[in-house]
Amino acid sequence: MVARARRGLREELRLYLVAVTSLSVAFLCVGGALLATTNLSAAAERWGESGRLSVYLRDGARPEDVTQLRMVLEGLPEVASVQSLSSEDARGMFLEQSEVSSDLASLPAEVFPPSLEVAIAEGTPIQRVDAISERVGRFRAVSDVETYRSFFDRLGSLVTAGTNLAIVIGLLVLLCVFAVIGNTIRLAVARRRNEIEVMKLCGATDNFVRGPFVLEGTFQGAMSAVLAVLALGVLFTTVRGSIDASLAELMGTRAVFLPAWMLFAIIAAGAIAGAAGSALSLRRYLTV
């Protein structure tokens, strides 16, 4: 069967090359979308991990409550450091950072609540940070906890959107692979109709006839995906140098390539879609 499939590939080389090339481009789009999503989510993860908490204290919180809170926080393994900020400090920092006009400078210190600025150790998962902030929020001295989650959430929803986009593109491309390979094989089958007839008249089973065509379709699908992955790899390594610098500045992360399992999944999906496309396109031609 492999020998007959090889003969088929040789005879229909031009036809198959066109199909494989166009499908490679399609797979390249999927790969690109996946690569962007992967990098975005990697960045989001890192940012989420190197987190910060602002624990705002109630007006008139009792000093011993604050001290106790501070001790609890410092006892947590996820907490890197705790710094307390009085109303005056906060006002000073605010005025310093926002170069605003002098009427804001007349704001009284009471407008700025005192807080504990908590730095979270690197590598702490977001869920842990949430748990800590929830626990801290129950202390009597605490009025509010700011986790800066809304920013991560926005980033997170961007990642989700990217993932969805990649999935949609992926499905479209699979449909393309299915249709293009189905058509290519249909053409090859039509050209080899006489061979099929001869084989069937000699007593070949449908599977015997179908085998090489399905193999050819599988090979085309897998080959397109492999070519796309290789092209993506080459593109990635060439542009990585220039991207990395700006990315590091912007997000504090380095560009990452797709994980191995995802590459295998792309290739497997190509092979399966190719096999299915050719198997389905063959059904009509087997009656002799």
Partner 1 sequence: MPGMPRDPEDDEGKVVRPFAFFRAGARADARAAQRPILVFDGVYKYFREDQPTLKDVYLEVERGEFAFITGPSGAGKSTLLQLVYRKHTVDQGRILFCGRDIARLTDKSIPFLRRNLGIVFQDFKVIPHWTVFENVAVALEILAMPRRLVRSRVAEALERVGLAGRGQERTESLSGGEQQRVAVARAIVTEPALILADEPTGNLDPHLAIDILTLFEEINDTGTTVLFATHDHSLIASRDHRIISIDEGRVIEARTGLRSWGTTGVHAAVG
Residues at the interface with partner 1 (CB under 8 A): 11, 194-195, 197-205, 207-208, 288
Name the residue nearer to partner 1 (CB basis): 13 or 245: 13
Least separation in angstroms between residue 213's CB and partner 1 is 16
* Nearest alpha-carbon partner for 28 in 244, 240, 177: 177
Least separation in angstroms between residue 251's CB and partner 1 is 58
Name the residue nearer to partner 1 (CB basis): 10 or 138: 10
Name the residue nearer to partner 1 (CB basis): 202 or 260: 202
CB atoms within 10 A of CB 45: 16
Name the residue nearer to partner 1 (CB basis): 148 or 208: 208
**252 in the Ramachandran plot: left (φ > 0), alpha (ψ -120 to 50) or beta?**
left
Name the residue nearer to partner 1 (CB basis): 46 or 200: 200
Ordered DSSP codes for 65-116? HHHHHHHHHHHSTTEEEEEEE-HHHHHHHHHHHS---HHHHTS-GGGS--EE
Least separation in angstroms between residue 156's CB and partner 1 is 54
C-alpha to C-alpha distance for 18 and 30, rounded to whole angstroms: 19
Least separation in angstroms between residue 210's CB and partner 1 is 12
C-alpha to C-alpha distance for 263 and 228, rounded to whole angstroms: 10
Least separation in angstroms between residue 178's CB and partner 1 is 27
Contact status, residue 171 vs residue 92, Cβ threshold 8 Å: no
